[in-house]
Chain A
């Protein structure tokens, strides 16, 4: 009986460890601690800023694809849905799992009114989970909104 128990435990442990090893490898392929957010967190918006001053929505001119220079519109509104014009928007981003930023310096090149801004020079140098951050300084104050993008 004793040997049986030992064997049983061994079997379960082996099975368990192989399984965790697999899922571990899949969760963090590149191995920095950052965890990919749930699928529901991946959205082009509308997305609220950290302190709730703004709601932003991204509208890429083409589907987001790796290794291509792209243009993305962002629509900035207040919580009541009014477009925010004359805001300063600083664009930043990177891959939390890899610890690198964007390969280019994208920026707002045009303000189209109704809270719509055009961001040019966006490029993702690989597929995967990217953070895309907008630091907004506008009539409602200073706030940041972070998008999780699946490229």
Chain B
């Protein structure tokens, strides 16, 4: 080699090294301004104040929340005396139960959803068939596989055990002496017969107490929120101009880069709760032992005609019900579309999806990578073709989203009365 060749070779090696080194460095630390903006928008600190719920006049009454908390944990609100909301929504487990299909009086067809932050969601349940927290709470109470009781039974329970606190919030309890111990439009045959013999005035009195149970529980649920995670601390660091590499590892940062980049996750999992609160078909398989579930296609139609929706006479709303007025119903895109879950604390609550179909986060990421065809409707996903190292990085990132679940600023484990 001549001297000239040697210098030139050195130069070439230098160029190569510099190029490769700079790419490596940029995957590690550098975010564009647009990416920093997106990261900031996902931080828990970006959550605006909780908006009021015009459908629930006691939504922000602390006495109602206190009553609601006691009702949430009370197993007397069930047909067998053993099921409370907290049976499935266990505070020490982030208000869920860690099993595929929830078990109350019987077994449900869906997985228990964590409650935190959902006071901000316009629609509740995997299929969005309810449009407020209080209307939602009335569902499990009358479901034969969850609490299994009847609205007359619950009204009597309030009269017997919660009269003073109920009346302080809602005013005098109606006279229920003419109402049988168990009666309701959705109970067993005897309860339904008993309900059909009641006159409309009595039915309305019972239903008004039942509705207020829901409103008190909703007032409590509005206090259940997510606290900051390691991810939020990373965002605080990088948006303040720090590298943040003492908060997240290289793999976790690479996973975050994929999450908002090539893996498209933030198309649906966006904002401070990492959900757009909408409904999407992601081709999750149905549970073979259950009848085919159409998800939002059914849920959207149900909520429009639902007994306790925003337009119903049980709602306190005075203004228009925008969510119902501009809702999409009957569209093909709703078929087997499910509510996008928040990804906060996701690593703490396997198994995953509406029916617990996928056992681990690795299974979830494998699902997104393959993007299988939907068993009904059309999946919106396209296969990602990520390498196995990239899937591991995504998983590492998802684990950074864990933090406390707070009730009035205290970690939920201390939330039991």
In residues 1-60 of chain A, which contact B (Cβ within 8 Å)? 1, 3-4, 7-8, 10-12, 14-15, 18, 22, 25-26, 29-31
Interface size class of A (residues with CB under 8 A): 20 to 34
| CB-nearest residue of chain B to A121 | B326
A120 touching B325 in the complex, CB below 8 Å, given contacts A126-B266, A127-B270: yes
Instruction: Name the prevailing secondary structure of the B interface residues.
Output: helix
Name 15 extra pairs, CB < 8 A, besides A29-B260, A31-B262, A103-B278. A4-B9, A7-B12, A10-B12, A11-B15, A12-B15, A15-B16, A22-B26, A25-B262, A29-B261, A67-B277, A69-B122, A69-B322, A123-B326, A125-B268, A126-B268
1/0 per residue, CB under 8 A from A, across B371-400: the answer is 000000000101000000000000000000
In residues 92-148 of chain B, which contact A (Cβ within 8 Å)? 122
A4 to B13, CA, bound (A): 11
Say yes or no for A98: interface residue by CB 8 A criterion.
yes
A7 to B9, CA, bound (A): 7
CB distance from B342 to the nearest CB of A (A): 12
| Chain A residues near B26 (CB-CB < 8 A) | 22
Say yes or no for B5: interface residue by CB 8 A criterion.
yes
A29 touching B262 in the complex, CB below 8 Å, given contacts A66-B276, A105-B327: yes
1/0 per residue, CB under 8 A from A, across B8-29: the answer is 1100110110011001001000
Of A22, A30, A105, which contacts B328 at CB under 8 A?
Answer: A105
B267 touches A30 (CB 8 A): yes
In residues 1-57 of chain B, which contact A (Cβ within 8 Å)? 5, 8-9, 12-13, 15-16, 19-20, 23, 26, 32, 38, 41
B326 touches A105 (CB 8 A): yes
| CB-nearest residue of chain A to B51 | A68
Tally of chain B residues near chain A (CB < 8 A) = 36
A30 to B40, CA, bound (A): 20
| Chain B residues near A105 (CB-CB < 8 A) | 326-328
Say yes or no for B61: interface residue by CB 8 A criterion.
no
| Chain A residues near B8 (CB-CB < 8 A) | 4, 7-8
B322 touches A103 (CB 8 A): no
Say yes or no for A104: interface residue by CB 8 A criterion.
yes
A15 touching B15 in the complex, CB below 8 Å, given contacts A121-B325, A126-B267: yes
A12 to B122, CA, bound (A): 53
B326 touches A120 (CB 8 A): yes
Say yes or no for A93: interface residue by CB 8 A criterion.
no
A11 to B327, CA, bound (A): 56
Say yes or no for B167: interface residue by CB 8 A criterion.
no
A69 to B267, CA, bound (A): 18
B20 touches A98 (CB 8 A): no
CB distance from A110 to the nearest CB of B (A): 12
CB distance from A49 to the nearest CB of B (A): 24
B276 touches A4 (CB 8 A): no
Say yes or no for B227: interface residue by CB 8 A criterion.
no
A14 touches B20 (CB 8 A): yes
Q: Which residues of B contact A (CB under 8 A)?
A: 5, 8-9, 12-13, 15-16, 19-20, 23, 26, 32, 38, 41, 122, 260-262, 264, 266-268, 270-271, 276-278, 322-323, 325-328, 333, 380, 382
A18 touches B271 (CB 8 A): no
B270 touches A107 (CB 8 A): no
| Chain A residues near B276 (CB-CB < 8 A) | 66-67, 103, 125-126
A49 to B105, CA, bound (A): 60
Most chain B C-beta atoms within 10 Å of own C-beta, residue among A14, A69, A103: A103
Of A1, A11, A121, which contacts B12 at CB under 8 A?
Answer: A11
A18 touching B270 in the complex, CB below 8 Å, given contacts A10-B16, A26-B32: no
A107 touching B326 in the complex, CB below 8 Å, given contacts A14-B20, A25-B262: yes
CB distance from B187 to the nearest CB of A (A): 36
B261 touches A25 (CB 8 A): yes
A127 touches B267 (CB 8 A): no
| Chain A residues near B271 (CB-CB < 8 A) | 66-67
B264 touches A30 (CB 8 A): yes
| Chain A residues near B13 (CB-CB < 8 A) | 7
A51 to B278, CA, bound (A): 35
A106 touches B326 (CB 8 A): yes
CB distance from B111 to the nearest CB of A (A): 23
CB distance from B161 to the nearest CB of A (A): 39
| Chain B residues near A14 (CB-CB < 8 A) | 16, 19-20
In residues 65-114 of chain A, which contact B (Cβ within 8 Å)? 66-67, 69, 98, 100-101, 103-107
A127 touching B41 in the complex, CB below 8 Å, given contacts A14-B16, A67-B271: yes
A69 touching B277 in the complex, CB below 8 Å, given contacts A25-B262, A98-B267, A127-B41: no
21 pairs of residues in contact across A and B, judged by CB atoms under 8 Å: A4-B8, A4-B12, A8-B8, A8-B12, A12-B15, A15-B15, A18-B19, A25-B261, A66-B276, A67-B270, A67-B271, A69-B323, A100-B380, A101-B333, A103-B278, A104-B327, A120-B326, A121-B325, A125-B278, A126-B270, A126-B276
